[in-house]
Amino acid sequence: MMLTEAQAQAERESLVERFIKKPSYTGFESEASGVNHLAFISTDLEKTIEFYTQVIRLKMLRVRAHDADPCSTQVFFDMGRGELLAFLRVNDMEEKARIGLGGFHHAALTVTREQYEAARERLEERGIHYTTISHEILDTITLTDPNGITLELSVWNVDPKDVQM
């Protein structure tokens, strides 16, 4: 269903009233302490490894078989704070099709201002297309990885604990 801009704005205002302003949805500390790992399907593990280690500068940690299929391979990268980014080359085409049905929009990694600027330089040096957006909460670089995944590198302009969406 396509919405007009006015309908979309009304929807957002309704969500704020129904959820953000009610302590039963916002009046507590989150019980998750962060991301354990995000796992994506990879179309090319070598290009993925090159991109995430050499462009994004995530340390590669592990290569292993997938638990459910020893013919499938997973690679893991360190996102910091014990949080991992994983890519999986799925061997079974039926499983690959099933996994692909979920729909995914993007992944965003938190970086420091220094890391943000260094990433921009690496992207420029390699001729990798990216866009940026800046506002009061975040500055973000948006790009596409070798698997077609939209990736954001975001630096906070405020303390994230103070953000009220």
- Secondary structure of residue 157 in the 3-state scheme: coil
C-alpha–C-alpha distance, residues 88 and 72, integer Å: 7
- Beta bridge partners, 89, equal 73
What pLDDT, on the 0 to 100 scale, is given for residue 158? 86
Tokens coding 18 = 């129904």
Q: What is the pLDDT of residues 132-161, one digit of tens each?
A: 999 888 899 999 999 888 899 989 888 876
Which residues share a beta bridge with 133? 140
Cβ 74 vs Cβ 39: under 8 Å = yes
pTM of the model: 0.73
What's the pLDDT tens digit per position in 17-55? 999 999 999 998 887 777 878 888 888 899 999 999 999
Query: Max alpha carbon distance in the chain (Å)?
Result: 51
42 phi and psi, to 5 degrees? -110, 140
Q: How many beta carbons lie within 10 A of that of residue 48, not counting itself?
A: 21
Quickly name the fold that domain 34-160 has: 2,3-Dihydroxybiphenyl 1,2-Dioxygenase; domain 1 (3.10.180)
Report d(CA 146, CA 51) in Å as an integer: 7
* Residue 35: alpha-carbon gap to chain centroid: 10
Check: CB of residue 130 under 8 Å from CB of residue 111.
no
Integer Cα distance of 58 and 139 in angstroms: 19
Q: How far apart are CA 147 and CA 139, in angstroms?
A: 24
Cα(6)–Cα(12) distance, rounded to whole angstroms?
Answer: 10
Domain boundaries, the chain: 34-160
pLDDT surpassing 80 at residue 162? no
